[in-house]
Amino acid sequence: MHRNIARAYHCLQDEHDRVRLACVKILSQKDKNLERELLRADLDDPKHHDQMLLYEERLHSPQRRRVLELNKYGRKIERVMAILLRI
C-alpha cells in the first residue's frame, strides 16, 4: 500500500475508533463496566449487534438520534476504508 494511502487509512481508522467510542459512551449511559464490555466486544459478532440494539432501544429519542447519526457516519468511514484497501 502506498505510504499516503496507508496514512489516510490509519487516519480513517482512528476517526472510526473515535466515533465508536462516542457511540458506546452514549449507549452505556455512564456505566463504566458496560462501556468496557461494549468496547472489548468483537465487532463482527451477531450477539454483540443484538446487544447494541437492545441498549439503543433504551435510549431517549435525542440520544437515539445521535447514535444513529454516529452509526451512519461510521459506516461512511468504513466504505471509504474499504475503497482504500482496494487501491
- Tell me the per-residue pLDDT of 17-37, one tens digit each, with 9 for 90 and over: 999 999 999 999 999 999 999
Q: Which of 35, 28, 17, 34 is nearest to 74 (CA)?
A: 17
pLDDT of residue 3: 83
Into how many domains does the chain fold?
A: 1
* Chain centroid to CA 69: 11
DSSP state of 41: S
- Tell me the per-residue pLDDT of 42-65, one tens digit each, with 9 for 90 and over: 988 999 999 999 999 999 999 999
Give the structural domain span for 17.
Answer: 3-86
Q: How many CA atoms lie within 13 A of 25 on its CB side?
A: 8
CA 23 to each of CA 18, 26, 42, 55, 64: distance values in angstroms, whole numbers, following the listed order: 9, 5, 15, 11, 10
